[in-house]
Amino acid sequence: MVVNDSLCVTIPEPEKLNLTPENIPLDVLYEDEHLIIVNKPVGMVVHPAPGHYTGTLVHALLYHCDRLAGIGGVERPGIVHRIDKDTTGAIVVAKSDRAHQHLQAQIKAKTARREYWGLIYGSFPSETGKIDLPIGRHPKDRKKMAVVTKGGREAVTHWQTLERLGNYSLMQFLLETGRTHQIRVHCAHQGHPLLGDTVYSSNRSLKVNLSGQALHARQLSLIHPISEKPITAIAPLPNEFTKLLQVLRNRTN
């Protein structure tokens, strides 16, 4: 038995953020002192990563928001969830540790509702359905994700056909989980990849120029971490998506 023993714990000083704020315009859908929801444009990476050390959403947020540095992490301050570089739409960012923890808990508990709209090749056989297939690293191409039989993580995507447009379909997707490239991988695995997805669409082509895949985080619904009131933010469709949708409708008619 040890008597009068003591344990000394040294807490290191907070690591300084080595990022320079950048004056990049933001399309703000909602903002208060606790959180901000923005409509992310195509081509913008959410946080710094190899090959993307400037021009990210984090750099823009550090310029736009006071006291964001250090919230939830050094390189990803305030980031609660992510959206692919070439996917557009609503993303929430916390402005305090309390808000960050609360919002992340909502994502983990699947109480936050994340609705996407996407344009796919072909059409699903029914109007609604669910894809429940695990996702992990592609066994041959480590830069890609894939539906895997071993070592994958649970991935569940709910889908609804909003409009059939000849050889294409406008879809609504609801995420139950948030795996990397989840909607893109699930759709491609079903034989209906997203238009403009050069990574997972394998030799499919459409004579319309797109800056990225036709996938948009249209609506984000959550509970405010402080007031506990519901918040719903709707991100308008980007011009490219709207124009492509009109082209497909014109072809169908």
Phi-psi domain of 72 (left: phi exceeds 0; alpha: psi -120 through 50; beta: other): left
Question: What's the token pair of residue 113?
Answer: 């509702």
In the residue annotation, 27 being an active-site residue is answered as no
| Alpha-carbon distance values, 144 to 25, 87, 119, 222 (Å) | 30, 16, 21, 30
Question: What's the token pair of residue 10?
Answer: 């040294």
In this structure, are residues 125 and 173 in contact, taking their beta carbons and an 8 Å threshold? no
Q: How far is CA 37 from the centre of its chain?
A: 12
Sign of the Cα torsion 72, 17, 50, 240 reads: positive
Catalytic residue among 66, 84, 86, 97: 84
Q: How far apart are CA 102 and CA 73, in angstroms?
A: 15
Known catalytic residues are 84
